[in-house]
Amino acid sequence: MDFKSLLAYKKSFELAMKIFEITKVFPKEETYSLTDQIRRSSRSVTANISESYRKRRYPKHFISKLTDSDAENTETQTWLEFSLACKYIDQPTFDQLTTLSLEVGNLINYMINNPNKFGAIA
C-alpha cells in the first residue's frame, strides 16, 4: 500500500486544494497572514500523514506524526473560523470545509488508535 491510497491522505489533500482555490480571492492584505496560514496548515495535514506512513515501522513515531497532522487539522479549522468571521467565506462554504476537516480528523484518529492496521509493528 502506498501512502497516497490512504483515505485520510486523499481527503486531506482534497481539503487543502479546496482551501487553496477559495483563498485565491482573499484580500491582498491577508496574503502574508490568514491566506498563508490556512494554506500552510491544511497542506501540513497531508504532509504529516505521508510522513507518518513512512514511519509506520515505529509505532511511536507513526502516532507522533499523526498527532502533528491532527493538530494541523485543528489549526486549519481555526483559520476557517477566522475566514468566516472576516466574511471571506460564506456559511455554506465554511460548513462544507469544516465537515471535510472533521472527517479528516476522524480518519487520522482512527489511524492513531489502530496503528497495527497500517503496518505499525507493536
Question: What single string gives the DSSP state of each residue in the chain?
Answer: --GGG-HHHHHHHHHHHHHHHHHTTS-GGGIIIIIHHHHHHHHHHHHHHHHHHHTTTSHHHHHHHHHHHHHHHHHHHHHHHHHHHTTSS-HHHHHHHHHHHHHHHHHHHHHHH-GGGGT---
CB atoms within 10 A of CB 50: 18
Task: Quickly state the pLDDT bin for 2 (edges 50, 70, 90).
Answer: confident
- Residue 67 pLDDT level (bands cut at 50, 70, 90): very high
CA atoms within 13 A on the CB side of 97: 28
The answer, yes or no, to whether residue 91 has pLDDT greater than 90, is yes
> 122: pLDDT confidence band, cut at 50, 70 and 90?
low
Q: With 80 as the cut, is the pLDDT of residue 48 above it?
A: yes
Q: Where are the domains of the chain?
A: 11-118
Q: What is the pTM of this model?
A: 0.94
Whose cell is 505521508? That residue is 50
28, 31, 61, 87, 98 from 35: Cα distances, Å = 9, 5, 30, 13, 17
CATH-assigned architecture of domain 11-118: Up-down Bundle (1.20)
CB 76 within 8 A of CB 45: yes
